[in-house]
Amino acid sequence: MSDKARVLVTRKWPERVEALIAERYDATFNPDDMPLTEAALAAAMRDYDAICPTITDKLHAGILGGEGRRVKIIANYGAGVDHIDLAAARAANVIATNTPGVLTDATADLAVTLMLMTSRRAGEGERELRAGKWTGWRPTHLLGTSLRGKTLGLVGFGRIAQAMAERARFGFGMDIVYYSRRRGAPDDEQRLGARYIPSLSPMVAQCDFVSLHIPGGAETRNIIDAQIFAQMPPHAILVNTARGDVVDQDALIDALETRRIGGAGLDVFAGEPHVPQRLRDAPNAVLLPHLGSATREAREAMGLRALANLDDWNEGRVPRDRL
């Protein structure tokens, strides 16, 4: 009988990280990499000392508050934790941690990728070429828009938003404005040339691009809705690498279909992995399958950060990223 803590890793992680976990713990992995059922998660709460979940694992109050719970820590793989009922975890005396900071650059890079792909109509062009419909170069074919001199509006002003602002301002010469519930530090505003606007609607009204960098959850659900789309200029482009539920997806589809806005670059969706057919059919939308942190460097760093939190707990220290 092993005296090591029993740990469940719910999805497949980078090999190096899994090897380290296996050395230090009595670990169970998921080689098939399929999401666990609710029943499996409920059973895991009784069978393991620690669970290492991802965004695909919905740890609600019914699971966290079940009888016979053995789990003492949830070491989440990822920065976002809207899939975990933190209040229920606290009530059950279960520690919850996340992995902040290590995916900043990867996600900001992808937000810029979406901004470029949408503004330059790269998705439309690739689909045309792959379908064998390209007839050759011509002066007015798939005309897009330059980023230089345009205004980027950030919703949120945390690590990823500021990394996005840095790339946009110093890489493309864009003007930066932002909205956040709490104003950022003056030094950050000065460094990035970012101007704070205390209300969302007036901010989006002056933006060529709006990029979302806020957590999901009840407080931010559908914060970008039909009223916000009505305030955006008709050429404006929405970029979302945050969470799908911060956008009213039906309102977004309507705005795309009616050309109320110029386009959208999306890496996240409400109800993932389902994406509505109307959204998939929208030619002015670039759609990616939740690739924000999908670099080898970022995904390995995320696993190592989750492991560090596990080690802190196992060795009697307060986990460095306790929520």
Give the domains, in start order, of the chain with CATH numbers. Answer: 6-102+296-314 (3.40.50.720), 104-287 (3.40.50.720)
Residue 31's pLDDT band, with cuts at 50, 70 and 90, is very high
**What pLDDT score was predicted for residue 2?**
65
From 193, 200, 186, 219, select the one nearest 82 (Cα to Cα).
219
**What pLDDT score was predicted for residue 212?**
98
Report d(CA 102, CA 313) in Å as an integer: 20
Q: Is 131 exposed, middle or buried (0-12, 13-18, 19+ CB in 10 A)?
A: exposed
Assess whether pLDDT exceeds 80 at residue 144.
Answer: yes
> What average pLDDT score do residues 188-194 get?
98
At 93-116, the pLDDT tens digits run: 999 999 999 999 999 999 999 999
At 167-179, the pLDDT tens digits run: 999 999 999 999 9
Encoded tokens for 227: 């009223």
> What average pLDDT score do residues 64-73 get?
94
> Whole-model pTM above 0.95?
no
**What pLDDT score was predicted for residue 223?**
97
Kindly list the catalytic residues. Answer: 243, 272, 290
From 133, 138, 13, select the one nearest 77 (Cα to Cα).
13
Encoded tokens for 239: 């970029």
**What pLDDT score was predicted for residue 217?**
87
Report d(CA 44, CA 47) in Å as an integer: 5
Give the DSSP H or E segment for 194: strand 194-196
**What pLDDT score was predicted for residue 86?**
96
At 257-270, the pLDDT tens digits run: 999 999 999 999 99
> What average pLDDT score do residues 292-316 get?
97
Dihedral Cα 258, 260, 264, 266, nearest 10 deg? -70
